[in-house]
């Protein structure tokens, strides 16, 4: 095998290993789409965290998840789910919406320096 070919194989294996580890390390966030409304509509994540966003469409019609801020768009067919990877992101606010129902299917990803967790499913607590 030539040195060039060995180098190409090494680079390909490194990239595959890195992408698999990155995908495994991502925090999973699930959003349900019901009656053309994202639930939860606001997601708070820690700065520089990669998230695996799973969107489950419970409606009988398709929706397109769209975000100019996140540079993502994905059609989610009726009664199905889609997966997107987002981040790592700097602190800030990132809007998203459903292109087919932009008046109701709206949401936001808030990226903060604080660790956020739900307490008793009723309130969010931030630990900075």
pTM of model > 0.85: no
CA 71 to chain centroid: 11
CA 6 to chain centroid: 35
- Give residue-wise pLDDT tens across range 30-52: 999 999 999 999 999 999 999 99
Report the C-alpha gap between 4 and 28 in whole angstroms: 38
Residues of the chain with pLDDT under 70: 1-25, 116-128
Q: 């939860």: which residue's tokens?
A: 40
The domain spans of the chain are: 27-127
Report the C-alpha gap between 126 and 97 in whole angstroms: 26
Report the C-alpha gap between 119 and 111 in whole angstroms: 19
Note the pLDDT of residue 114: 80
Q: What's the CATH code, domain 27-127?
A: 2.60.40.420
Note the pLDDT of residue 123: 62
Note the pLDDT of residue 22: 44
Note the pLDDT of residue 23: 46
DSSP letter string, 99-120: TTSTTT-EEEEEEESSEEEEET
CA 113 to chain centroid: 18
């Amino acid at each position: 095998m030539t040195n060039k070919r060995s180098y190409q194989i090494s680079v390909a294996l490194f990239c595959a290993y890195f992408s698999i580890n990155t995908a495994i390390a991502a925090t999973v966030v699930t959003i349900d789409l019901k009656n053309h409304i994202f639930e939860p509509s606001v997601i708070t994540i820690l700065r520089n965290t990669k998230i695996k966003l799973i969107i489950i469409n419970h409606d009988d019609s398709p929706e397109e998840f769209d975000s100019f801020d996140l540079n993502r768009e994905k059609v989610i067919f009726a009664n199905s789910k889609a997966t997107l990877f987002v981040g790592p992101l700097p602190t800030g606010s990132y809007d998203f919406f459903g292109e087919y129902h932009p008046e109701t299917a709206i949401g936001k990803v808030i990226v903060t320096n604080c660790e956020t967790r739900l307490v008793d499913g009723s309130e969010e607590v931030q630990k900075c």
